């Protein structure tokens, strides 16, 4: 009997030892997971902090360098004069600001409805086999360099406008806006398609069950429900349109004058910066004026985003 008791005690002691070892190992694994989670959290915080510092550093540098323009140029002259001739000390940027706004608004007015209609077709009408073809094609269009769009517009669109509409050169706001509308359509189409697909299916079924037609359901139920995503697509499209450089520079005409018609050549903030940046010494009034134009472009983009966001919040 004593032998059996001894064997039981040995087994119980061995089991207790194994249990303690397993507890230590599991505890160590849990501590390692907590350590990895903490390291990952700190890494993400550091990355976000670094990106914030970089963005604000760029804004600070561009703004500081640009605002130095007002040491020698009046703000009234810069913002309300269309006379731009650095050789004569004239730095009126009104024509560039108006050209950027008109080109961006016109391109969005053309591209946004077409992109939204294409998104509705892809999300609710197109069969599966066609979706599998068009979605990769749409993503491919986004990857095409802007200089390719500009070159196609230069060789095909500009001569057509010159011959068909009797324009003097064919360069101008209309040519640039049409090419920009084609460039921003894939962005609007892709994001709007995802937004429409994210609308809960019961909303559509309930509307149809109440007697609404398919078109009424789409206009009054699906599109309003997807409005935040669609507005995000429009914001991104506007940001690309107003910041586009090469395609606009190739088609706008690069003439520092106020827009008088859709067929008259003009210039935008980005096109004038890229044309003149190689000729300006750093720290000169001319160079600071270009930095100020870049800063104004940044503020215009921010204002557009805030307006669209505000409008979207009220709609939602």
| Distant-in-sequence, close-in-space partners of 200: CB < 8 Å, separation ≥ 6 | 225
Separation of alpha carbons 179 and 121, rounded Å: 22
Residue 153 has pLDDT above 70, yes or no: yes
Mean pLDDT for the chain? 83
Of 189 and 278, more confident: 189
Range of the domain at 24: 2-70
- Write out pLDDT tens, residues 233-290: 888 888 888 888 888 888 888 888 888 888 888 888 888 888 888 778 887 888 899 9
- Write out pLDDT tens, residues 161-177: 888 887 778 888 999 99
How far is the first Cα of the chain from the last one, in angstroms, to the nearest whole number?
Answer: 82
Helix (H) / strand (E) containing 105: helix 94-120
- Provide the number of structural domains found in the chain: 2
Claim to verify: residue 139 and residue 236 sit in the same structural domain: yes
3-state SS, residue 267: coil
Claim to verify: residue 252 and residue 200 sit in the same structural domain: yes
Claim to verify: residue 22 and residue 101 sit in the same structural domain: no
Claim to verify: residue 194 and residue 280 sit in the same structural domain: yes
Claim to verify: residue 133 and residue 229 sit in the same structural domain: yes
| Distant-in-sequence, close-in-space partners of 234: CB < 8 Å, separation ≥ 6 | 108, 112, 188, 308
Distances (CA, A) of 264 to 3, 46, 97, 109, 169: 109, 50, 16, 19, 8
Among 52, 70, 88, identify where a domain stops.
70
Q: What angle do helix axes 173-197 and 128-142 make, rounded to 10 degrees?
A: 130
What's the CATH code of the domain at 228? 1.10.3720.10
What is the distance, to the nearest Å, from the Cα of residue 169 to the centroid of all Cα atoms in its chain? 31
Closest CA to 291 of 78, 82, 64, 86: 64
Tokens of 270: 């980005």
Claim to verify: residue 59 and residue 171 sit in the same structural domain: no
3-state SS, residue 154: helix
Among 70, 85, 106, identify where a domain stops.
70
Q: How confident is the model at residue 312 (pLDDT cuts 50, 70, 90)?
A: low
- Write out pLDDT tens, residues 15-70: 455 555 455 555 556 677 777 788 888 889 999 999 999 989 988 999 898 899 88
Claim to verify: residue 29 and residue 154 sit in the same structural domain: no
């Amino acid at each position: 009997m004593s032998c059996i008791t001894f064997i039981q005690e040995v087994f119980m002691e061995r089991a207790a030892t194994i249990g303690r070892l397993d507890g230590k190992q599991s505890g160590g694994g849990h501590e390692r997971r907590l350590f990895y989670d903490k390291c990952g959290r700190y890494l993400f915080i550091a990355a976000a902090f670094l990106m914030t510092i970089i963005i604000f550093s760029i804004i600070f540098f561009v703004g500081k360098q640009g605002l130095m323009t007002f040491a020698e140029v009046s703000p009234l002259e810069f913002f309300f004069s269309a006379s731009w001739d650095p050789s004569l000390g004239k730095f009126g940027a009104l024509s560039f600001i108006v050209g950027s706004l008109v080109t961006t608004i016109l391109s969005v007015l053309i591209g946004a409805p077409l992109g939204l209609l294409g998104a509705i077709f892809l999300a609710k009408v197109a069969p599966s086999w066609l979706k599998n073809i068009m979605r990769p094609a749409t993503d491919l269009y986004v990857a095409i360099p802007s200089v390719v769009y500009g070159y196609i517009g230069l060789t095909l669109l500009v001569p057509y406008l010159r011959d068909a509409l009797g324009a003097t050169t064919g360069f101008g706001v209309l040519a640039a806006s049409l090419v920009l509308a084609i460039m921003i359509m894939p962005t609007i189409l892709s994001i709007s398609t995802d937004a429409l697909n994210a609308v809960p299916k019961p909303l559509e079924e309930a509307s149809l069950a109440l007697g609404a037609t398919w078109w009424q359901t789409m206009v009054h139920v699906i599109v309003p429900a997807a409005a935040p995503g669609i507005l995000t697509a429009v914001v991104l499209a506007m940001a690309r349109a107003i910041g586009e450089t090469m395609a606009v520079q190739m088609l706008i005409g690069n003439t520092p004058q106020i827009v008088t018609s859709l067929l008259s050549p003009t210039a935008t903030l980005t096109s004038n910066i890229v044309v003149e940046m190689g000729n300006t010494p750093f720290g000169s009034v001319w160079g600071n004026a270009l930095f100020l134009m870049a800063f104004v472009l940044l503020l215009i983009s921010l204002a557009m985003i805030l307006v669209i966001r505000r409008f979207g919040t009220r709609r939602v």
